[in-house]
Amino acid sequence: MARSNLLIHLDTIHQDDLIYAERDMNFAQKVGLCFLLYGDNHSDATYILQKLLTMTRSDFPQSDLLIKYAKSRPETWRRHLVEALCIVGARKVLRKLGFCWQELKIHYLPHVAGITLHVHPLLKSLYRMCEELSVAQSGRLVLDVGEKVARQQAGDPLRFYDPMYLEIFLLDWLTRRCIQLGDINVIGSNVQLLIEHLKFNDLKEQAKLLIDTIISNAPEPDLAEIDAMTIKQETESDNQQSSSCSTAAAPSKASALCRINALRLTRENAGIALIINQQEFHRNVSKDLKKFLSPKPLKIRIGTDVDKKRLTEVFSSMGYNVEAYDNVDHLDIVQRIRSACDRSLLRDSLVVCILSHGFEEAVYGANSIALKITDIENVLCSYETLYNKPKLLVIQACQEKPDQKEEQNQLGLPFKIDVTTQSPSQHINLVRAMSTVSGFPALRHTHMGSWFIQSLCDAIECHSASEHIADILMIVTNEVSEKRGQNDESMVPNVQSIFRQHVYFPPRL
């Protein structure tokens, strides 16, 4: 009965009431309301964006936006308007229009946040996201996503700078089609830029809201078609001739339905791939550093340039800005890593590869002074610019234990870096990929490069289009552990992952 009374009362709203309704709203409510009402049509969004920008520059922003909306949609404006007023919480306006808030709340604000009756569901979820973010979080989103939008498209930038009204920036990105709502069932939607930013910045509830909205509003997938596609592609793959890079298997039903929860790095903003390539070593250090020198002179690492060249080619092909340095002293290693961290605020990820000699839990600089690998990890995780972003630390170095005489002589102690992390959560999305398990040497061919690095590059080239990073590293572990040298040498890589979701490398050229 209450539902019927509500629908009857909706028809009593007159366009003349809208003048007074608009006067009872503050500017923030007007921005949110216009976003919800106009955002799902490209020409409307363009019009309302310009209108709102004009209003932000006025000391007395009066307008007739609601009357224009009503006239443009004579059959449906009442239901859309009342639902939008409920979403923005304009209780004073609704009360003056004669509605009961509790009745409206039951009708228009269900427990499932991404469900709507008339307003586009993604607009509702995006508005909720705007309300939940702090001004600082909104500012970071505007900076990050705005930078990506500027690189993707030419045209005049949005000359508005107040992240308090995040909906205005969202309208701008909608008009540029950098984010898309799709139809009322969100088919054709694309808000991946926003989801990636939210995940990178540990705004998992907001990212989940957008993902759940897409899933809950989409029509049920035809699982029979998915099965048929899977069987067909698997059959074709089985019939193909084997090669060094076999065709990736088709995704299962589960992966096809859950793929949206994965984190996909972009070519345009992949990040920095820092390569520290140690080939030659010296012992020319100050007197106070001599206690950190390796017990014996370190031999030249012939073949490491092959690894450096291959890593450069592979990561460049995925859009990474590769920065390779040869024969870097221990403190300069730290400085290079810190510099890369500083410059990663607007980047999706960071890769650090160190190719050197080492011993258990340590890796050498070119001046024969070692750093603790855990200290290097702490440097990567201590930067807010990389908080919750994928960080891949690749170490190609022996991990043998120093003998007792060396320990007694107090030589070769790792140099301690003054760095700490304040919370375990800072280590989220860090992966350490070591060429060997603790206590054993890492094998390197003088002409073909190291087993581990070459296998890693092969696996990325063959599987990055279909497999996430953790599975690629598992493939590397399997391949390397099965290799045997001329004298039956063997090696087992050691991978430690703190990824909490599937992360995919950017697409390769």
H helix count then E strand count, the chain: 21, 13
Q: Is 357 a catalytic residue?
A: yes
Say how far apart CA 364 and CA 77 lie, in whole Å: 69
Q: Report the interhelical angle of 77-88 vs 121-132 (nearest 10°).
A: 20
Amino acid at 319: G
Say how far apart CA 415 and CA 369 lie, in whole Å: 7
Amino acid at 471: D
Name the β-bridge partners of 65.
Answer: none
Q: Which of 34, 398, 457, 462 is catalytic?
A: 398
Q: Is 130 a catalytic residue?
A: no
Picking from 353, 215, 208, the residue whose alpha carbon sits closest to that of residue 272 is 353
Residue with tokens 């070769």: 412
Q: Which of 197, 330, 357, 468 is catalytic?
A: 357
Say whether 391 sits in a helix, a strand or coil.
Answer: strand
Say how far apart CA 325 and CA 486 lie, in whole Å: 32
As given in the structure block, the two tokens for residue 263 are 């984190």
Picking from 295, 296, 412, 311, the residue whose alpha carbon sits closest to that of residue 355 is 311
- The backbone torsions φ and ψ at residue 423, rounded to the nearest 5 degrees and listed phi first, read -145, 145
**Long-range contacts (CB closer than 8 Å, 24 or more residues apart) made by 469-478:** 469/390, 469/392, 469/431, 469/499, 469/503, 469/504, 469/505, 470/431, 470/495, 470/497, 470/499, 470/502, 470/503, 472/505, 473/431, 473/433, 473/497, 476/433, 476/452
Amino acid at 263: L
For residue 263, what is the DSSP state? Answer: E
Residue positions annotated with a catalytic role: 357, 398
